[in-house]
A = this chain, B = another copy of it.
C-alpha cells in the first residue's frame, strides 16, 4: 500500500478504516484469495426481545482494530507462541451481505450467497451477526460441503420448531440445523435458564442427537472431559451466541442470561476443538452495540474471534 510515508506507519489501533482486524477489504466476491474470509450479516428481524444486533458487524470490526497491534503477529506468552504471523496469514474482510428490510427470506438468501462464495474460494467463513437466525443461511450454505458437527456456545437452546408460523427466527436455528442430513450432531454448551424453548424442544433436541450441557455442568466436568464428548476428527462448525458469555462481560446483547461463561472457559474449549478436528466455519451472533456502553462486548467478540482464527490457522 502506497501511503506516502517514507518510514512506514505506526498505525495505532485507533487509526484507519475499520475492516475486521484491519485485514484487507475484498469486495469482489468472485475473487476471494484467503484462508479466512469475514462476512457481516447485519440482520435483526428475528429477535424476540430487544433489537439492535444489526449493529454487530460494525461494532465488532471497530473493536477488532484494537488487536491490530501485532504487526509481527500476536505473541501469546502463556503458550509462548505467535499466532496470526503476518507473513503467512491470509484473512480478508468481504463486507456485508445485502439486507432487505421487512424481508427475512431474501435477507437470509443473501447471507447464504456470501457464505457460498467464501466456501467456493476454499476459505473458512467467519460470519458476524446479526441475530442468531443468521446461522440458518450459514448452515444452508454448507449443503454441499460434506458432513459437519455443530458446536454451539449459547445460553439458549434455540430449538423451537415452529410457533405462529415462524420457523426462521432467532429461537430456531439449532432446530433447523439438526434437520439437515449433513449435520451429524450438535454440542450445545452453556445452555441455562428459561427461554423460548419449552420442554418439548429439549426432548426433540436430545432425540435428534444433541449433547446439552449447562455452564455449571461444564465447570464440573472440566474442559478435557467436555471435549471428549465432541466426536473427534470431525469437521466442526462453531456458532457463538455472545449471550453464552456472562452478562458481566457481554452486556451488549439482546437477551442476556445470568450465570454464563467467562472468557477463558470458552477460549480453552475452542482452542481444544481446533486441535481435535477441523473447524470449517464460524459465526458469532447477537452483539448489539446499543447495550454496550463501554464497548466490552464487541471487544470480547473481536478478542475471541481473533484468538480462535489464530488457533484454527495454527492447527492446520
Contacts and interface: CB of A to CB of B under 8 A. Distances in A.
Interface of A: 1-5, 7-19, 25, 27-31, 40, 42, 44-52, 54-55, 58, 61-62, 66-67, 69-72, 74-78, 82, 93, 95-104, 106, 110, 113-114, 117, 133, 157, 163-166, 168-170, 191-199, 202, 212, 214, 216-217, 246-249, 251-252, 255-259, 262-264, 267, 290-296, 299-300, 303-304, 306-307
A25 B166 CA distance: 29
**Contact residues of A: prevailing secondary structure:** loop
Nearest to A188: B77
B165 A103 contact: yes
A220 to B, nearest CB: 11
A157 B99 CA distance: 22
Contact of A194 (B76, B198, B202): B76
Given A10-B100, A194-B306, A256-B299, 13 more contacts: A4-B114, A10-B164, A12-B48, A16-B96, A17-B19, A18-B18, A58-B62, A193-B307, A246-B248, A251-B293, A251-B295, A258-B303, A258-B304
A17 B4 CA distance: 23
A4 B29 contact: yes
5 contacts: A13-B49, A14-B55, A102-B104, A102-B166, A102-B169
Contacts of A44: 51
Given A4-B113, A70-B194, A291-B293, A18 B15 contact: no
B166 A46 contact: no
A221 B44 CA distance: 42
Contacts of A96: 15-17
Contacts of A267: 259
A103 B103 contact: no
A213 B305 CA distance: 24
A2 B30 CA distance: 7
B2 A27 contact: yes
B17 A2 contact: no
Nearest to A195: B69
B27 A1 contact: yes
Given A4-B30, A98-B15, A294-B256, A52 B49 contact: no
A293 to B, nearest CB: 5
